[in-house]
Amino acid sequence: MNRPAALEFDRVGKRFAFGETDVRALDDVSLAIAPGEFTAIVGRSGSGKSTLLNLAAGIDTPTSGEVRVDGRALSSLDDDALTTLRRDRVGVVYQFFHLLPGLDVRENVALPLLLGRARRADALARADALLAEVGLGPRARALPHTLSGGEMQRAAVARALVHEPALLLADEPTGNLDTRAAAQVIELLRDLGSRHGATVVMVTHSLEAAGAAARVMEMRDGRVVSDRANAGARPRA
């Protein structure tokens, strides 16, 4: 039996109403991303990339069509089940890191486990391990505002992976970083994603970032206009 796609969009549409204007953010999008794949979705601002990612994470619902994660239709899940799915199967990295300012770095990383009622000591040990992997071991007890942008994003990547998600979603993860830090984060996503067996879907408008992905989809006006394998991508570890 074939394994289901890690992420599947089946004729998905999403509209937003802004006052009297109806904006079509996604228009009849269908795609399937196989388990373990590292896919980049590129496109200009407003092309629908982030909407696609939010729908994939189940934090937004489509106006039409169906989104499936690991073969499970998200429309069939209630809010609690969606939350559980996110907690167990999905990790998200944002452009602005979104680390909680009052928690130190390891606590931030352990957060998804703690929200899932993991034992505190286990969660923190796991966070420490991941922080060591992303090279932030020595900064584990630091507060987020003392970190550089690159460090904060590495911490955010560690947080997204702490619960071993099957699907790692990254929304412009390098948008707020300098070139060197951006390269480090892309490396992390690629290598760590692979090492932890996660399917990585990364939204970006950076061609350098997209260059690291094995598959690149381009979006324009809410549609996927191209979908190609990236021959130049370095194989994942």
Partner 1 sequence: MTITRWLALRPLLRSPGRTLASVLGVALGVAVFVAIRLASGSALAAFSDTVDAVTGRANLQVVARGDGFDETLYTRVRAVPGVQAAAPVVQVTALARPGGFRPAARPDAAPDAGGDTGPRYDETLLVLGLDAFVEAPFFRMELASGERGERGAGSLSATGGEAAAAGLRLLAEPRTIAITRTLASRHGLRVDDSLTVLASGVPTPMTIAAVIESEALQQAMGGNVVITDIATAQEVFGREGRLDRVDLLVAPERRDSVRAELARLLPPTAAAELPQGRTKQVENMVRAFALNLTALSFIAVFVSTFLIFNTMAMSVVRRRRDIGVLRALGMTRGAVARLWLSEAAAIGVLGSALGLVLGTLLARGALRVVGRTLTDLYLVQQTDSLRLDPFTLAVGASLGLFATLGSALLPALEAGATAPGATLRQGQRIESQPLPLTALGVAAAVSLALMVASALWSMQSHVAWGGFAAAFFAIVGFSLLAPGATLAMSSLAAPRAGRLGGIEAALGARALREAVARASTVVAALTVAVGMLVALHVMVGSFRRTVDTWITQTIKGDLYVEPVGHRTSGSATVLPPDLVQGAREIPGVAAVDTYRATPITMNGLLAFAIGIDLRVQRDFGRLSFTSGEDARTVLGRALEGGGVIVSESFAHRHRVKQGDVIALPAAGGAAQVRVEGVLFDYSTDAGAVLMDAATYARLWNDDRTESLALYVKPGASADSVRAAFVALCGPERLMHVTPNAGLRRRVLAVFDQTFQVTWALQGIAVLVAVLGVVSTLTALVLQRGREIGMLRANGATRAQVRRMVLVESGLLGLTGALLGCVAGVALAVLLVQVINKQFFGWTVRFQLEPGIMLQAVALMVVVSALAGLFPAQLAAGRAAAEAMREE
102 binds partner 1 (CB under 8 A): yes
Question: Which residue, 106 or 163, is less far from partner 1 as judged by CB?
Answer: 163
59 binds partner 1 (CB under 8 A): yes
Q: Which of 2, 79, 138, 232 binds partner 1 (CB under 8 A)?
A: 79
Q: Which of 64, 76, 84, 146 binds partner 1 (CB under 8 A)?
A: 84
Using DSSP, state whether 54 is helix, strand or coil.
helix
Residues in the chain: 237
Q: In Å, how far are 59, 86, 230 from 81, measured between CA atoms?
A: 12, 9, 35
**H helical segments located in the chain:** 49-57, 79-89, 105-115, 120-133, 149-161, 179-195, 207-210
**Min. distance of Cβ 161 from partner 1 in angstroms?**
12
Q: Which of 88, 122, 178, 187 binds partner 1 (CB under 8 A)?
A: 88
159 binds partner 1 (CB under 8 A): yes
Rounded to 5 degrees, φ, ψ at 98 are 50, 50
- List residues bridging with 200 in a β-sheet: 38, 168
Q: Which of 32, 100, 132, 237 binds partner 1 (CB under 8 A)?
A: 100
Question: Which residue, 1 or 18, is less far from partner 1 as judged by CB?
Answer: 18
Cα separation of 207 and 21, whole Å? 32
Give the interface size with partner 1 as a residue count (CB under 8 A).
Answer: 32
Question: If we measure between CA atoms, which residue out of 213, 226, 209, 125 comes closest to residue 173?
Answer: 209
215 binds partner 1 (CB under 8 A): no
**Min. distance of Cβ 124 from partner 1 in angstroms?**
11
Question: Which residue, 20 or 79, is less far from partner 1 as judged by CB?
Answer: 79
Q: Which of 22, 73, 116, 234 binds partner 1 (CB under 8 A)?
A: 116
86 binds partner 1 (CB under 8 A): yes
Cα separation of 211 and 38, whole Å? 11
